[in-house]
Amino acid sequence: MKKTLKNILLGFALVAVLGALALVLRARMGCSPAGDGAETTPRPAPTAESAPTPVPTPTPDPEYFTISAVGDCTLASSQNFLESPYGYKARMNGDYAYPFSNTVQYFAEDDFTLANLECTLSDKKLNSMEQFYFLSPTEWAEILVQGGVDFVNTANNHMMDFGQKGAEHTYAALKEHGVAYGVEGETSTFITETGLKIGIYCDYNKYYPDVGKSAAAVASLKKQGAEYIICAFHWGEKELKYRPNEEQVELARACIDAGANLVYGSHAHCLQPIEEYKEGIILYGMGNWSFGGHTAPTDPDTAIVQISVKRDIDGSISNEGYTIIPCCVSSDLESAAVHRDNYNDYRPTPYAEGSEEYERALSKITGTYQGPDGSADYSDWWASWS
């Protein structure tokens, strides 16, 4: 009996101890002694919500575009050199990337490249009455594509070497290969991949250019929504003249006055000065480029002119400046320097900056060249027009 009572008392004592331990554990775990589930863990004090930082409205930046200009592309030799080892066909040897291979880097990253095309593209047997004519297979339009050329002026004295049929074959070939082109006396527009709408007027008139007709063409391009307007002229009295004549100067400036941004000239087969007139730029003559017309051109100098065009935040367009890259018409610079026979390999190549040839080509564009064209003081003559 005592033993039983003792056991009972010990049991009550054990229960009491276990109960006390349970209360301690519950307290440590944050439970109320009543075991009703009420939370006892203190909550963090509420904080005032901060206002979100306003995101500033981005300010639009001006856009910039690069327009490149080069001279005559005669993508063929004359009938006398068609099969010559020094002719265009043999030099190119089926590689359409070859003619522009030393300069394509300048055109691959620009927005628009302009050249003058002086040959017929046709796969037909055509007859010509011209003393010298230039005929290429239509597939050779790929030279322009791989060279990065976007637009060619066809308004020149060789586009009709094979009459209207030859011209139509040329237009069809250019269209097939995706090269835009301008036709004599007509306007056209071109939208670059970067969104600049360029308007171009092309004309060929060597002696008496029509100022009124050209100004009307500029006005027409404005109505067509062109942002940047180019007038491309094949002009001038004679070849290898290092200065424009008075009629060219009058026409070029009239076009700028009418609203053109750039005047692009060709025909002289040599470089002529660049002029900044009011808000416009005038390239009086860009000389030869990949020129199959001669195996040893009298003047080996040529150039790339790259114009920086700005579209401001209000949509206005302006010329912001230009860069000149003096070049040789051939990659054989050593032979070109001494005018060795057949030096032309039809692959224009930049001159080394600061070289004698570089400075000579540059002087032809800046108007300081003392040229072999009968002008005793060429720089003074040009200064009178500036």
pLDDT digits (tens, 9 = 90+) for 158-189: 999 999 999 999 999 999 999 999 999 999 99
Cα 101 from Cα 81, distance rounded (Å): 23
pLDDT tens, N- to C-terminus, the chain (386 residues): 333 434 443 444 454 444 544 444 444 444 444 444 444 455 555 555 566 777 777 778 999 999 999 999 999 999 989 999 999 999 999 999 999 999 999 999 999 999 999 999 999 999 888 888 999 999 999 999 999 999 999 999 999 999 999 999 999 999 999 999 999 999 999 999 999 999 999 999 877 678 999 999 999 999 999 999 999 999 987 789 999 999 999 999 999 999 999 999 999 999 999 999 999 999 999 999 999 999 999 999 999 999 999 999 999 999 999 999 999 999 999 999 999 999 999 999 999 999 999 999 999 999 999 866 545 344 444 344 44
Q: What's the first-to-final CA gap in the chain, in angstroms?
A: 136
Q: In order of start, what are the domains of the chain with their CATH numbers?
A: 63-372+380-385 (3.60.21.10)
Q: What is the 3-state secondary structure (H, E, C) of the chain?
A: CHHHHHHHHHHHHHHHHHHHHHHHHHHHCCECCCCCCCECCCCCCCCCCCCCCCCCCCCCCCEEEEEEEEEEEECCCEHHHCCCCCCHHHHHCCCCCCCCCCCHHHHHCCCEEEEEECCEECCCCCCCCCCCCEEECHHHHHHHHHHCCCEEECCCCCCCCCHHHHHHHHHHHHHHCCCEEECCCEEEEEECCCCCEEEEEEEECCCCCCHHHHHHHHHHHHHCCCCEEEEEEECCCCCCCCCCCHHHHHHHHHHHHHCCCEEEEECCCCECCEEEECCEEEECCECEEEECCCCCCCCCEEEEEEEEEEECCCCCEEEEEEEEEEEECCCCHHHHHCCCCCCCCCCCEECCCCCHHHHHHHHHHHCCCCCCCCCCCHHHHHHHHC
Nearest to 96 by CA among 346, 269, 296: 346
Nearest to 180 by CA among 214, 203, 217, 154: 154
Residue whose tokens read 């700028």: 256
Kindly report the number of other CB atoms within 10 A of residue 316's CB atom: 10
Q: Which residues fall within 8 angstroms of residue 315, CB to CB, at 6 or more apart?
A: none
Cα 142 from Cα 379, distance rounded (Å): 40
Beta bridge partners of 120: 135
Cα 291 from Cα 259, distance rounded (Å): 32
275-334 pLDDT, tens digit each: 999 999 999 999 999 999 999 999 999 999 999 999 999 999 999 999 999 999 999 999
Cα 105 from Cα 121, distance rounded (Å): 26
Angle at 383 between CA 381 and CA 386, to 5 degrees: 125
